[in-house]
Amino acid sequence: MTGAVEAAAALVAGAHSVVVFTGAGMSAESGVPTFRDDLTGLWARFDAERLATPEAFHADPDLVWGWYEWRRSRARRAEPNAGHRAVAALEAAVPGTTVVTQNVDDLHERAGSTAPNHLHGSLFAPRCIGAGAHPAVFPDAEEPQEGRRLAPPRCDACGALVRPGVVWFGEALPEEALRAAVAAAASCDVLLTVGTSGVVYPAAEIPRIAARAGAAVVQVNPDPTPLDAVSTLNLRGTAATILPALVPV
């Protein structure tokens, strides 16, 4: 264990309240592509930040719905990695731990995390675009590897189109989720930021709020990011290799 990892483990072991803030890199070792990774198949010629918008959905609902159903089937086939399991173990070891994620997969939950705070929604909470925003239930389908256009289902209650339960670019984050994340960051002793490039706002503000409030910020990322500047410790490695070493024994 390097000196920096040891120092981070000591910080966590001495902490009363910890925030674990995660991004796409957390699920990379589970085979879920990050947002930096180029899109493949049908979506190869699109930019994720352009597809993940209300405008794209209204312009071509079958293309965008097909993309989310493809991501949903990939996420269902993926397994939590040693990083997800370490986060769940850390929650058990340090009761005052809060998990805040930008990820829309359910790998934190499947690894045993009790109530991760999904700032950007979930692939598993579709709802209709009608005024009622009715939750939609429909069978899981295995999507072809290269993806396909797929017409979104219609809402049983009001007939409106069903959309993915995620936060698209240009849309507001769920108020309560954001409020709870800001409160946790402003009062924690240690914030672990794992697998995020720290460029999407307002989520990217969370580690900065913790730093401004005097918490120790520990970054886990194989590459440098804009969060280097606010991090007390930068651990250059992957989520699945480093996080297990941070769980208090």
Distance in Å, CB of 38 to ligand BV8, minimum: 11
Instruction: Pick the binder of ligand BV8 from 4, 7, 13, 34 (CB under 6 A).
Output: 34
- Which residues have C-beta within 8 Å of that of residue 202, sequence separation ≥ 6? 173, 178
Beta bridge mates, 163:
127
d(CA 167, CA 170): 8
**Residue whose C-alpha is closest to residue 246's, from 12, 15, 2:** 12
Our CB check for ligand BV8 shows the closer of 52 and 211 to be 52
166: which DSSP letter? B
Beta bridge mates, 67:
none
Which pair of tokens denotes residue 232? 């007390």
Find the binding residues for ligand BV8 in span 106-165 (CB under 6 A). Answer: 120
Query: One symbol per residue from 227 to 246: x for binding ligand BV8 (CB under 6 A), - otherwise; what is it?
Result: -----------xx-------
CB closest to ligand BV8, residue no: 25
Burial string for 173-202 (b: 16+ CB within 10 Å, else e) reads beeebbebbbebbebbbbbbbbbbbbeeee
Instruction: Establish if 200 lies at the interface with ligand BV8 (CB under 6 A).
Output: yes
Please state the φ and ψ torsions of residue 117, each to the nearest 5 degrees: -90, 110
Our CB check for ligand BV8 shows the closer of 196 and 231 to be 196
Q: Active-site residue 120, yes or no?
A: yes
Distance in Å, CB of 249 to ligand BV8, minimum: 22
Instruction: Point out the catalytic residue in the list 108, 118, 120, 134.
Output: 120
Instruction: Say if residues 221 and 213 touch (Cβ distance below 8 Å).
Output: no
Instruction: Establish if 195 lies at the interface with ligand BV8 (CB under 6 A).
Output: yes
Our CB check for ligand BV8 shows the closer of 16 and 58 to be 58
Instruction: Say if residues 158 and 132 touch (Cβ distance below 8 Å).
Output: yes
Find the binding residues for ligand BV8 in span 54-93 (CB under 6 A). Answer: none
Instruction: Pick the binder of ligand BV8 from 29, 69, 109, 189 (CB under 6 A).
Output: 29
Q: What residue ranges bind ligand BV8 (CB under 6 A)?
A: 23-25, 28-29, 34-36, 49, 52, 102, 104, 120, 166-172, 195-197, 199-201, 203, 220-223, 225, 238-239
User: Which residues belong to the active site?
Assistant: 120
